[in-house]
């Protein structure tokens, strides 16, 4: 099913680093989309094969401020979750996004999440929120 190709799992996981040594972390490289603060890590995982290629053509991370991305993501996540909960979506919204706009996920994660929503709108020909841009 074509829609299952676009199935994404956006997972923002926050977890405490209990008992993990520095050695065990050396095998992983999530620097681009992982933010650590006060022993909490946030990861944005996007399982959509075309997203990374699409993202290359977009403005750099610092084109907008972190607050801009955070505010836009608040609206996008709210609309996404409403559509997910309604169930009348033809399978486009397969997961609930646990995003707290009061949490500082950092500009890299907010940037990638914002542009994932833009990518989703473009590839699925839907508009999640009305924008002036």
Residue 6 lies inside a defined structural domain of this protein: yes
Position 61 scores a pLDDT of: 94
Position 10 scores a pLDDT of: 31
Q: pLDDT below 70 — which residues of the chain?
A: 1-39, 131-133
Position 14 scores a pLDDT of: 29
Number of domains making up the chain: 1
Residue 13 lies inside a defined structural domain of this protein: yes
Residue 133 lies inside a defined structural domain of this protein: no
User: 109 is in which domain, residue-wise?
Assistant: 2-124
Residue 130 lies inside a defined structural domain of this protein: no
Residue 106 lies inside a defined structural domain of this protein: yes
Q: How many CB atoms are closer than 10 A to CB 53? A: 9
How do 34-37 and 40-45 pair as beta strands? Answer: antiparallel
Residue 131 lies inside a defined structural domain of this protein: no
Residue 21 lies inside a defined structural domain of this protein: yes
Tokens at residue 46, please?
Answer: 């996007």
Residue 18 lies inside a defined structural domain of this protein: yes
């Amino acid at each position: 099913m074509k829609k299952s190709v676009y199935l994404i799992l956006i997972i923002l996981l926050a977890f405490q680093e209990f008992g993990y040594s520095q050695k065990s972390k050396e095998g992983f490289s999530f620097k681009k989309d992982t933010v650590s603060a006060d022993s909490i890590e946030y990861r944005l995982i996007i399982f959509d094969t075309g997203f990374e290629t699409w993202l290359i053509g977009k403005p750099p991370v610092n084109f907008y401020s972190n607050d801009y991305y955070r505010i836009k993501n608040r609206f996008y996540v709210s609309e996404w979750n409403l559509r997910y909960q309604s169930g009348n979506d033809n399978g486009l919204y397969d997961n609930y996004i646990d995003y707290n706009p009061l949490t500082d996920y950092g500009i890299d994660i907010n940037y990638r999440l914002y542009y994932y929503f833009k990518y989703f709108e473009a590839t699925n020909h839907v508009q999640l929120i009305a924008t002036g841009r």
